[in-house]
Structure 1
């Protein structure tokens, strides 16, 4: 299947949007960590290599979380050397100083920490309060920066929490500011249960502006639980955000919303961005082929609407 065969959308640029967007591909980490079955290390490595071949320049490779908590990614030490030669950024998740040590021992040069905007999720996911978790991340970030490593700060539950409901914007801004102040180079605003809407996105981004958080340091991570991920992404682009998280084939889901579609599919994002005339550097045909291949490895179809539509056209 070639790019010409896809019937790509007509590019009609809209005023005020960025010329280029960097897609932060999270499928190999955020997507595969939610799988019930463990994916073989060699398959994960091939997945990452195919994503790089499709033009993705930032691919979150794995997580150095204790295998007890995320057994699906217990092979981090075996996987990372298999892909370390790729000419792309390969960030990895580190939960604490021990996780950072493991990553640094393999010469990882981009890491991420994972915080929460709400007390309920911090307790459920990290078994700590928000401030206790931040206190643990502070030496991790400081040590990473001392080693010349780029640090991303994930912030979950930025828009809604399954226990607490809608999350006050000021609460999110406070934790974002704390992550930035401790030295994070970049923040990723997570809509973990997919309840955000465009107005809410605009308000949060405006309040972050007012708090001195640079838009250039902000990425967005939307789930498509209620079909709002692309609309929310467009609202963020209109505000000037140029980093968007997505997962090839829509891999990954939300454990707190049983009917959730899960992560925004990279194919769906690329289709919209192409239609807006925004450059991503991604070859959609190769991306679709990669996600179809991975769906075959997992033994189930992808939820990506764009992938399904283009696969149907090929038949």
Structure 2
């Protein structure tokens, strides 16, 4: 059943304390599918990307140029981008871990890239095989070369709120890492609650610290996991601070391998339902998006964890 059949209004009056419009940064095709145990065929990935664009999403993270040894599910990055039907007005960012990854991205004609940094020593060593400070020696040349080539560069900062080895992450430590990425040339920071332990108060505190450190709220995005059911509450807290870019994954695809109870990324459908209820524009057709996630669930052979997808599929 769709939104119209339920008799619900598509837009509620706008809350004046919130942004008028939010950009949804769709991460399902990259962050979601990279966690799958089996490789999704490239034809399915291409249809997924097409369906997401058809639903009105204007930023769809397509793939990653991480070495196939580490992320075999995205080993088809070159083929996917060569066959991708790019749309006017739609950005298709890719993740690049190092200069070799950037070389591959440039050869594929990519115009938006992202680097993935850690806010903690422990995660940097486990995920990047580097230290908290040493990771910048890897990222800075990538960012500099990408900017020289005219590319936008997003900087992901993981473990912004909690780390499974270190516990609560000091706010000033996260701000230091984020500022270094911006100073190196990143055009946007995505602040990640990688294991889903953040609360609304922690989100407000971190955003305030960035603002007090001289970072414009327009340069910040948020990336929440729903491990403890707090992703939407955390998103609302970020919106009230002025954040206008929110990461989400269609159908709630993805998860965190570092927390056994992690339930994955904030579902795009759940985010859209929230934004509609707040009167915040986003440009996404919820019915089309729900149908896309239903379709992808069939490809993966399991139901979607998105509450909105489940509710509208009843």
Corresponding residue of 1:138: 140
Q: 1:296 to 1:250 in 2, by over 3 A?
A: same
Q: Contact 1:3 / 1:283 at 8 angstroms: preserved in 2?
A: no
Give the whole-Å Cα distance in 1 for the aligned partners of 2:195 and 2:257.
Answer: 8
Give the whole-Å Cα distance in 2 for the aligned partners of 1:121 and 1:258.
Answer: 16
In the alignment, which of 227, 230, 234 is matched to residue 225 of structure 1?
227
Corresponding residue of 1:8: 8
Give the whole-Å Cα distance in 1 for the aligned partners of 2:8 and 2:285.
Answer: 11
Give the whole-Å Cα distance in 2 for the aligned partners of 1:156 and 1:8.
Answer: 37
Corresponding residue of 1:190: 192
Alignment of 1:50-89 (within 5 A): 50-87=51-88, 88-89=90-91
Give the whole-Å Cα distance in 1 for the aligned partners of 2:83 and 2:219.
Answer: 30
CA shift digits 1:259-303 (9 cap, x unpaired): 211100000000000010001000000000000000000000000
**After TM superposition, where is structure 1 displaced by more than 4 Å over at least 4 residues in a row?**
none
Alignment of 1:165-180 (within 5 A): 165-180=167-182
SS at match of 2:155: strand
Alignment of 1:256-275 (within 5 A): 256-275=258-277
SS at match of 1:301: coil
- TM superposition shift of 1:177: 0.3
Give the whole-Å Cα distance in 1 for the aligned partners of 2:131 and 2:22.
Answer: 34
* Structure 2 alignment gaps of length 5 or more: none
Q: Contact 2:163 / 2:169 at 8 angstroms: preserved in 1?
A: yes
* Structure 1 alignment gaps of length 5 or more: none
Alignment of 1:1-315 (within 5 A): 3-8=3-8, 11-87=12-88, 88-312=90-314
SS at match of 1:125: helix
CA shift digits 1:170-228 (9 cap, x unpaired): 00000000000000000000000000000000010000001111100100000000000
Q: Contact 2:52 / 2:292 at 8 angstroms: preserved in 1?
A: yes
- Name the count of aligned residue pairs: 312
State the superposition RMSD in angstroms: 1.1
- TM superposition shift of 1:86: 2.0
Q: Contact 2:50 / 2:85 at 8 angstroms: preserved in 1?
A: no
Give the whole-Å Cα distance in 2 for the aligned partners of 1:217 and 1:141.
Answer: 16
Give the whole-Å Cα distance in 2 for the aligned partners of 1:97 and 1:218.
Answer: 24
Q: 1:7 to 1:163 in 2, by over 3 A?
A: farther
CA shift digits 1:51-94 (9 cap, x unpaired): 00000000000000000000000000000122252221000000
- TM superposition shift of 1:13: 2.6
Q: Contact 2:2 / 2:312 at 8 angstroms: preserved in 1?
A: no
